[in-house]
Homo-oligomer: A and B are copies of this chain.
Amino acid sequence: MDWDVLLTPYKQAVEELKIKLKGIRDQYQLTSKHTPIEFVTGRVKPVSSILEKAKRKNIPLNRLEEDMQDLAGVRIMCQFVGDIDTIVELIKARTDFSIVEQRDYIKNKKRSGYRSYHMILKYPVQTIEGGEKNTLVELQIRTLAMNFWATIEHSLQYKYAGKIPDEIEQRLVKAAEAAFQLDEEMSKIRGEVQEAQKIMTKQQEASRRKP
């Protein structure tokens, strides 16, 4: 298996998608609208993680490109839960790649407490042999609080090789609830801000209409 040959198109897909999704941010900053994207990250799965996951999920190495959908991963972080829907709509409207699958772990959070919105994209990269090659890329969309929790859960999964002790798992569930609570409080602020803006706009319109 020549990993560099296998993974170079995925590395390319990640780099292109990062630039493209950051571009959404730049466009929002030209408007007076709240930008739904806080920041964007991306990575190609390390070879050691690919091998570990292939073994665990029983994926033959000649089926990696079809059956391991997160060889390439891109992640969008946002401030408010409500931003996630906005981003999903923006992604659906694009014409430079297509959507293969969607999983909403926010409406249906995992037992561990994990929340995130996942999409599998089919993204074309150009090859020097001529012609396109399609790559599958997993896009994760989450708030900063979801991401904070997920980062820590991921490093514990790694440390304990997937077998997190019960006490720590229960702690993680409690922390996930605190993260959820933070998102709830933040959502109320977003609501208040939007409410306040509507009132202010109406007052301004009213005062303008006066002779």
Contact = CB atoms under 8 A, between A and B. Distances in A.
Nearest to A26: B8
How many chain copies? 4
Nearest to A18: B19
Interface string A70-94: 0000000001000000000010011
A182 B130 CA distance: 32
Contacts of A145: 145, 148, 182
Interface of A: 4-5, 8, 11-12, 15-16, 19-20, 23-24, 26-28, 30, 38, 79, 90, 93-96, 124-128, 130-132, 144-145, 147-148, 151-152, 156, 159, 165, 167-168, 171-172, 174-175, 177-179, 181-182, 184-186, 188-189, 192-193, 196
